[in-house]
Amino acid sequence: MGESEILNLLLVLLAAWGGGILSNKLGFPAILGELTVGIILGPALLGVLHDSHLVSSLADVGILLLMVYIGMEIDIGDLKKASWPGFIAAAGSFIVPFILGYYSVILFGGTQIAALMTGLAVSVTSLATKSRILLDLKLLNTRIAYVLMAGALITDTLALIIFAGIASIAEIGNIHVVQVLIVSGKALLFFGVTSLIGIYGFPLLGKLLDRAGLSNRTFSFTMLLIITFAFAEMAEMMGMHGILGAFIAGLFVRDGVFNRQLIREVNKVFYDISIGFLAPVFFVISGFYVDLDVFLTDTWLMVTVILLAIIGKIVGTVLFYLPTGYGWREGLTIGIGMNGRGAVQIVIAEIGLQMGIISKEIFSILVLMAIITTLTVPFFLTMATKWLRKRGELVEMEKRRGVLFVGINPLSLMLAGELKKTVPVTLIDSNEDVIKKGRSEGFESIQGNALKEEILLQANARRVKTIIAITRNSEINILAGQMAHDEFLVPEKLILLSPGKEGADINMLIPLGASTIFGMKTDLDFWNNLILSGSYSLLEVEPGEGPANKWIKAFKKENKQALPLLIIGHDGKKRPFHFNEKFYENERVVFMVQKPDVNA
């Protein structure tokens, strides 16, 4: 390993970091920035970065760990209870683009195996992309969100299973009935063995480790790596790619080996290593393999694949969704949401390129398709959901309702007092005196540590829509949001961050899908003192339509000592102001300012 290899790795990491941050700032997933920076700085354009043995080796490990993490993020129980609309939306968004992608390659003289791989790649839906966009558009508690999430889970899982079969057939080199039967038999054997290990072996292993006193994070992480590579090797032995084994390991290890607290800690480590380090390396070097000459040499193939991929997703979803009776407009909106691609599609495409199943030209087209569809989804999904809202057809799910506050203080009590007029409000604090204060003002108040699962259960965290963590300690606020995210799937997490506090950064909220309450870092003591002394005024302003994160930057320049508290909708209902909010027509922002000192 020479000095140049280390320098190249350093530059790749810096490029991935910069591209990912910029993409997130613009409201897109990090993968988009990582791919784009790989294309711009790689051989396709500037040639500043290049592939190397060290970078490729890390990227190969990154693929496996990424697949484990994706598997750990998928709850098998969610697949079991996916709604009927979710299943048929997934079927439509998978089958139709698969067929269109297949025949688009055949039409231009491609091989049958390349056509199968292309059809599979255009059929995938990005689960991570959906989660972020749904949060930004405040759709997490709608029927659209439930269908989209179920559809993405099903298509990603199905795509990886089918990919394993295609890769096995490609290794054989021909497609005959006997060979297909042999591949199918190996696949069934693999799934049978891994399922037995996952269902019966993992729980037994977990008990043995617990009895031996080996249930700590470091040992558990090492054990998970061993399981990952063992499952990946089993997949390879059965003629399938190792990523399927890693994915299956993640699915079963989620609830099988370790207790919930430990798996949550291990999941954080996996997130940092896979999403934070190795996967970005993989996506940057994926950009290296893109050949921009396809714009000239394969223009019509590129246009055909991209257009049919987009049309196939949307039309397929609409057609299959019609039997639900929920209307073609809702089906169209879901189809638009299913149109984004992401990590799984890029992994499948690059492995297909490495195996020689698809050409560099087709790989380049698939990467460009992923970039284009990911860029367009937020724009068109915003338009479609706004359309449904205006028609009164955006269906809210009544499964979650209410707000849970962590921390009782004058500011949280003021905010809770406004919100309780329309939704149930519950307060948690460990201090007995402030609990009495909360109860005296008519709130359901629970004394205890909000970082303990039993306290959140007592506060009915499984049913609330929003958790607002407002304590002086930013780290506690973030941990409360983490608990709400991991254990109770609370859709909206609003976190107070104090200024100048080390170890608490806005970037820590991104993995939680959380947002900054009040849209800025907030000095809690300052505003509490204003409220206690009565030295404040509440004012209103109409911000106009658009994202709150852009408005708050301009607002802070003009109002340095002002705190946005609430948004009043056109129907008069109030909701807490936060960084990821979105304003609609005729809405108003209520903000607090300090009264001028008349004695000054």
Average pLDDT, the chain: 84
> What is the DSSP-derived secondary structure letter of residue 509?
G
Q: Which residues, at least 6 apart from 373, have a Cβ–Cβ distance to it below 8 Å?
A: 309, 310, 339, 340, 341
| Separation of alpha carbons 161 and 88, rounded Å | 18
- Residue 174: per-residue pLDDT: 59
Considering 213-222, 248-257, 333-342, 438-447, the range whose residues carry the highest mean pLDDT is 438-447
| Separation of alpha carbons 141 and 400, rounded Å | 7
Q: Is the pLDDT of residue 411 over 90?
A: yes
Q: What is the mean pLDDT of residues 183-203?
A: 82
Q: Is 468 left (phi over 0), alpha (psi -120 to 50) or beta?
A: beta
Residue 251: closest CA among 149, 160, 371: 160
Q: Is the pLDDT of residue 142 over 70?
A: yes
Per residue, what are the HEC states of 221-253? HHHHHHHHHHHHHHHHHCCCCHHHHHHHHHHHH
DSSP alpha helix (H) spans, 49-174: 53-73, 76-80, 84-107, 112-123, 127-136, 143-172
- What domains appear along the chain, each with residue ranges and CATH number? 3-391 (1.20.1530.20), 403-594 (3.40.50.720)
Q: What is the mean pLDDT of residues 500-512?
A: 69
Q: Which residues, at least 6 apart from 258, have a Cβ–Cβ distance to it below 8 Å?
A: 206, 209, 215, 220, 266
Residue 109 tokens read as 């003289």
Residue 54 tokens read as 């060290």
Greater confidence (76 vs 448) lies with 448
Q: Is the pLDDT of residue 3 over 70?
A: no
- Residue 76: per-residue pLDDT: 61
Among 326-330, 511-515, 533-537, the least confident range: 511-515
Among 78-82, 90-94, 254-258, the least confident range: 78-82
Cα dihedral value 277, 278, 284, 290, nearest 10: -170
Q: Is the pLDDT of residue 375 over 70?
A: yes
Q: What is the mean pLDDT of residues 291-317?
A: 92
Q: What is the mean pLDDT of residues 200-209?
A: 81
Q: Is the pLDDT of residue 222 over 90?
A: no
DSSP alpha helix (H) spans, 392-465: 410-419, 432-440, 453-458
Q: What is the mean pLDDT of residues 498-521?
A: 79
Q: What pTM does this model have?
A: 0.69
Rounded to 5 degrees, φ, ψ at 489 are 50, 40
Considering 250-259, 266-275, 369-378, the range whose residues carry the highest mean pLDDT is 369-378
Considering 134-138, 164-168, 238-242, 291-295, the range whose residues carry the highest mean pLDDT is 291-295
Judge contact between 557 and 548, C-beta under 8 A. no
Q: How confident is the model at residue 112 (pLDDT cuts 50, 70, 90)?
A: confident
**Please, what's the b/e burial string for 12-47 (b: 16 or more CB within 10 A of its CB; e: otherwise)?**
bbebbbebbeebbeeebbbbbbbbbbbbebbbbeee
Residue 392 tokens read as 């009164």
Q: How confident is the model at residue 597 (pLDDT cuts 50, 70, 90)?
A: low
- Residue 598: per-residue pLDDT: 45
- Residue 502: per-residue pLDDT: 54
DSSP alpha helix (H) spans, 322-426: 328-337, 343-354, 360-391, 410-419
- Residue 182: per-residue pLDDT: 72
Q: Is the pLDDT of residue 131 over 60?
A: no
Q: How confident is the model at residue 600 (pLDDT cuts 50, 70, 90)?
A: very low
Q: Is the pLDDT of residue 468 over 90?
A: yes
Sign of CA dihedral 88, 91, 94, 99: negative
CA distance readout (Å), 289 to 60, 284, 353, 362: 15, 10, 9, 11
| Separation of alpha carbons 502 and 25, rounded Å | 22
| Separation of alpha carbons 314 and 226, rounded Å | 41
| Separation of alpha carbons 171 and 243, rounded Å | 16
